[in-house]
Protein backbone atom coordinates (compact mmCIF):
# COMPACT_ATOMS: atom_id res chain seq x y z
CA UNK A 1 0.00 0.00 0.00
CA UNK A 2 2.87 2.47 -0.69
CA UNK A 3 2.04 6.09 -1.34
CA UNK A 4 2.16 6.87 -5.03
CA UNK A 5 4.43 9.70 -6.23
CA UNK A 6 2.63 13.02 -5.88
CA UNK A 7 3.50 16.48 -7.18
CA UNK A 8 2.54 19.13 -4.63
CA UNK A 9 0.67 22.27 -5.64
CA UNK A 10 2.32 22.43 -9.02
CA UNK A 11 5.44 23.76 -7.32
CA UNK A 12 7.66 21.01 -8.64
CA UNK A 13 7.97 19.14 -5.33
CA UNK A 14 7.36 15.42 -5.69
CA UNK A 15 6.97 12.82 -2.94
CA UNK A 16 8.46 9.56 -4.22
CA UNK A 17 8.75 6.21 -2.41
CA UNK A 18 12.43 5.57 -1.65
CA UNK A 19 14.34 3.17 -3.85
CA UNK A 20 17.88 1.79 -3.75
CA UNK A 21 18.54 3.72 -6.96
CA UNK A 22 18.38 6.95 -4.93
CA UNK A 23 21.48 5.99 -2.90
CA UNK A 24 23.92 8.27 -4.72
CA UNK A 25 21.61 11.29 -4.35
CA UNK A 26 20.91 10.50 -0.68
CA UNK A 27 24.60 10.13 0.17
CA UNK A 28 25.39 13.40 -1.64
CA UNK A 29 22.61 15.28 0.18
CA UNK A 30 23.74 13.92 3.55
CA UNK A 31 27.37 14.85 2.85
CA UNK A 32 26.30 18.35 1.87
CA UNK A 33 24.05 18.69 4.96
CA UNK A 34 26.14 16.70 7.44
CA UNK A 35 26.63 19.59 9.88
CA UNK A 36 22.96 20.59 9.66
CA UNK A 37 21.83 16.97 10.20
CA UNK A 38 24.28 16.32 13.04
CA UNK A 39 22.47 18.87 15.21
CA UNK A 40 19.18 16.95 15.45
CA UNK A 41 19.43 13.76 13.36
CA UNK A 42 22.84 12.16 13.89
CA UNK A 43 21.59 8.79 12.62
CA UNK A 44 20.68 10.34 9.26
CA UNK A 45 24.14 11.92 9.14
CA UNK A 46 25.64 8.40 9.07
CA UNK A 47 24.24 7.89 5.54
CA UNK A 48 26.97 9.95 3.88
CA UNK A 49 28.64 7.03 2.12
CA UNK A 50 27.16 5.32 -0.91
CA UNK A 51 27.27 1.93 0.84
CA UNK A 52 25.50 3.23 3.96
CA UNK A 53 22.84 5.02 1.90
CA UNK A 54 22.25 1.95 -0.28
CA UNK A 55 21.95 -0.36 2.74
CA UNK A 56 19.48 2.05 4.38
CA UNK A 57 17.34 2.25 1.24
CA UNK A 58 17.34 -1.54 0.87
CA UNK A 59 16.08 -1.85 4.47
CA UNK A 60 13.51 0.91 3.92
CA UNK A 61 12.21 -0.80 0.79
CA UNK A 62 11.90 -4.12 2.64
CA UNK A 63 10.04 -2.40 5.50
CA UNK A 64 7.58 -0.89 3.01
CA UNK A 65 6.87 -4.32 1.52
CA UNK A 66 6.33 -5.68 5.06
CA UNK A 67 4.17 -2.68 6.01
CA UNK A 68 6.26 -1.88 9.09
CA UNK A 69 7.57 1.52 7.91
CA UNK A 70 7.29 3.72 4.84
CA UNK A 71 9.77 6.29 3.59
CA UNK A 72 9.56 8.83 0.78
CA UNK A 73 12.08 11.16 -0.81
CA UNK A 74 11.20 14.75 -1.59
CA UNK A 75 12.39 16.06 -4.95
CA UNK A 76 12.56 19.59 -6.27
CA UNK A 77 12.77 18.90 -9.98
CA UNK A 78 15.50 16.26 -10.24
CA UNK A 79 17.15 17.27 -6.96
CA UNK A 80 16.65 15.23 -3.80
CA UNK A 81 15.94 17.76 -1.05
CA UNK A 82 14.65 15.69 1.88
CA UNK A 83 12.73 12.72 3.20
CA UNK A 84 9.66 11.74 5.22
CA UNK A 85 9.48 8.51 7.24
CA UNK A 86 6.45 6.82 8.78
CA UNK A 87 7.80 4.53 11.49
CA UNK A 88 6.80 2.46 14.50
CA UNK A 89 3.59 1.49 12.71
CA UNK A 90 1.19 -0.31 15.04
CA UNK A 91 -1.59 -1.59 12.79
CA UNK A 92 -3.54 -3.05 15.73
CA UNK A 93 -3.39 0.22 17.67
CA UNK A 94 -3.82 2.18 14.42
CA UNK A 95 -0.94 4.56 15.18
CA UNK A 96 2.54 5.43 13.99
CA UNK A 97 5.35 7.95 14.37
CA UNK A 98 6.51 10.37 11.71
CA UNK A 99 9.86 12.00 11.05
CA UNK A 100 11.48 14.02 8.31
CA UNK A 101 14.50 16.00 7.22
CA UNK A 102 15.08 18.69 4.65
CA UNK A 103 18.23 20.16 3.18
CA UNK A 104 18.94 23.59 4.66
CA UNK A 105 18.85 25.23 1.22
CA UNK A 106 15.19 24.23 0.88
CA UNK A 107 14.03 25.38 4.34
CA UNK A 108 11.40 28.07 4.73
CA UNK A 109 9.44 27.19 1.58
CA UNK A 110 6.72 25.05 3.20
CA UNK A 111 8.05 21.89 1.55
CA UNK A 112 7.96 19.75 4.70
CA UNK A 113 4.55 21.06 5.74
CA UNK A 114 3.09 20.34 2.30
CA UNK A 115 4.68 16.89 2.10
CA UNK A 116 3.49 15.95 5.57
CA UNK A 117 -0.06 17.00 4.70
CA UNK A 118 -0.06 14.56 1.80
CA UNK A 119 1.45 11.74 3.88
CA UNK A 120 -0.93 12.40 6.79
CA UNK A 121 -3.93 12.28 4.43
CA UNK A 122 -2.72 8.87 3.27
CA UNK A 123 -2.17 7.74 6.88
CA UNK A 124 -5.64 8.76 8.02
CA UNK A 125 -7.29 7.65 4.77
CA UNK A 126 -6.17 4.46 2.98
CA UNK A 127 -3.79 3.27 5.73
CA UNK A 128 -6.57 3.62 8.31
CA UNK A 129 -4.51 5.05 11.18
CA UNK A 130 -6.07 7.05 14.01
CA UNK A 131 -3.01 8.67 15.62
CA UNK A 132 0.30 10.03 14.40
CA UNK A 133 3.03 11.00 16.84
CA UNK A 134 5.85 13.43 16.14
CA UNK A 135 8.78 13.87 18.53
CA UNK A 136 11.43 16.54 18.44
CA UNK A 137 14.12 17.82 20.78
CA UNK A 138 12.87 20.76 22.84
CA UNK A 139 15.46 22.98 21.18
CA UNK A 140 14.40 22.14 17.63
CA UNK A 141 12.23 25.18 16.97
CA UNK A 142 11.71 24.50 13.26
CA UNK A 143 10.21 21.08 13.95
CA UNK A 144 8.02 22.53 16.69
CA UNK A 145 6.64 25.07 14.21
CA UNK A 146 5.98 22.37 11.59
CA UNK A 147 4.04 20.28 14.12
CA UNK A 148 1.99 23.25 15.27
CA UNK A 149 1.26 24.40 11.69
CA UNK A 150 -0.12 20.96 10.93
CA UNK A 151 -2.43 20.97 13.95
CA UNK A 152 -0.50 18.57 16.17
CA UNK A 153 -1.07 19.02 19.90
CA UNK A 154 1.95 19.20 22.20
CA UNK A 155 1.12 16.47 24.68
CA UNK A 156 4.13 16.56 26.94
CA UNK A 157 7.84 16.39 27.50
CA UNK A 158 9.85 13.18 27.49
CA UNK A 159 12.71 13.87 29.84
CA UNK A 160 16.17 12.92 28.58
CA UNK A 161 14.55 11.06 25.69
CA UNK A 162 17.48 11.20 23.30
CA UNK A 163 21.25 11.34 23.51
CA UNK A 164 22.59 14.00 21.14
CA UNK A 165 26.35 14.41 21.02
CA UNK A 166 26.81 12.72 24.39
CA UNK A 167 24.18 14.83 26.14
CA UNK A 168 20.70 13.65 27.04
CA UNK A 169 18.07 16.07 25.79
CA UNK A 170 14.36 16.37 26.43
CA UNK A 171 11.87 15.88 23.61
CA UNK A 172 8.42 17.25 23.02
CA UNK A 173 5.87 14.68 21.98
CA UNK A 174 3.11 15.88 19.66
CA UNK A 175 0.03 13.93 18.62
CA UNK A 176 -2.47 14.31 15.81
CA UNK A 177 -5.70 12.33 15.68
CA UNK A 178 -7.68 11.46 12.57
CA UNK A 179 -10.61 13.53 13.93
CA UNK A 180 -8.33 16.58 14.22
CA UNK A 181 -6.74 16.38 10.77
CA UNK A 182 -8.14 18.98 8.42
CA UNK A 183 -5.95 18.17 5.42
CA UNK A 184 -4.99 21.80 4.90
CA UNK A 185 -3.02 24.53 6.58
pLDDT tens for 69-127 read 999 999 998 999 999 999 999 999 999 999 999 999 999 888 999 999 999 999 999 99
Residue 38 lies in a domain: yes
pLDDT in tens, 130-160: 999 999 999 999 999 999 999 999 999 999 9
From the list 100, 126, 133, the residue with the least C-alpha distance to 13 is 100
Q: What is the pLDDT of residue 185?
A: 45
Residue 6: which pLDDT band, with cuts at 50, 70 and 90? low
The CATH number given to whatever domain includes residue 125 is 3.40.630.30
**Could you tell me if residue 156 is inside a domain?**
no
Does 30 reside within a domain?
yes
Contacts of 155 (CB under 8 A, 6+ apart): 173, 174, 175
Is position 70 within any domain? yes
Number of folded domains in the chain? Answer: 1
Domain assignment of residue 48, given as a range: 6-102+109-132
More confident residue, 185 or 133: 133
**Does some domain include residue 146?**
no
pTM of the model: 0.91
Residue 157 in any domain: the answer is no
Whether 26 is covered by a domain: the verdict is yes
The answer to whether position 90 is within a domain reads yes
Amino acid sequence: MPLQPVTLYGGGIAIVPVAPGHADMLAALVRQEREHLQAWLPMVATLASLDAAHAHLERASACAVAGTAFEWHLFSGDTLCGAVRLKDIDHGGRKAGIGYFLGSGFAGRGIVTDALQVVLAWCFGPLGLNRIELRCATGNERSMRVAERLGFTREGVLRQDECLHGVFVDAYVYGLLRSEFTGGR
